[in-house]
Structure 1
Amino acid sequence: MFQKLLGKNISNDEVVQYFKSLKSEPIQRENNVSNLYDYEWLFKEDGILITVLNSIIISIKVYFSPTPICQPFRDEFVWGLSYISSENDIKKQFDFPENLNREPMRADNIYQHKNCTVAFDAMTGEINYGEIRL
């Protein structure tokens, strides 16, 4: 579903219908710092962050934890990542390179492959979020 939304205009019927199907009302956050995107919509109860540039969806981030703020996402995200439960799974089942975040005080271990980024809690190894971009 998310891959179908990437690159579409926010006024597209499919996008509008998807937004209506979500439980939460979007919280809009304007970007006044850089020109990478115009604004983001956070659907807090659904655990979804949509990034928009020139009225086009350029990024979708799904937060898998923490619950109960965001319920774990059970539908297909990308490449079967909905079924990943720990950092070991992504190393064994997918062709993601090693941890990209080498900061000593990091909160997340970050893996990236093609247009997808996945982050795991550095302490517990549980998946925090997955993001796909144009």
Structure 2
Amino acid sequence: MVTTVTSGIQVSVEVTYQAEFSSPHQHHFVFTYKVTIENKSNQTVQLMSRRWEISDAAEIKKIVEGDGVVGQQPVLEPGESHSYVSGCNLKSGLGKMKGVYFMEKLIDGSKFEVVIPEFQMIANYFYN
């Protein structure tokens, strides 16, 4: 698990290789990642959108942007957390992801960015 804190918002990511859904001989590797966002600040915040950079050893870097996370734009009161699980398909068994959440403070509408820490995606396949 990797964790970072930006402006009082803690982001932790845990990645899992999904061997049962992958086909290494067809260059198809599936990973899931669980993200936990915890508001350690004294402000109520809302996650508005995100931007991911996905690097695959077999391809050039991809940028993925969009509103919210898995269809939600969670509001986090101080001390609250939000977790979700998403996934990523790679053409190789080796890659990494990092990104940023675009957040808003509900008290005044000010916007700020929260770093999503870089994490590695390594297929267990390489260790067998």
Question: By the TM > 0.5 criterion, same fold?
Answer: no
Flag the structure with higher helix content.
1
Give the structure, 1 or 2, with the largest relative contact order (CA under 8 Å, sep 6 or more): 2
Q: Please report the TM-score for the alignment, with normalisation by the length of structure 2.
A: 0.29
Q: Please report the TM-score for the alignment, with normalisation by the length of structure 1.
A: 0.28
Q: Which has the larger radius of gyration?
A: 2
Flag the structure with higher strand content.
2
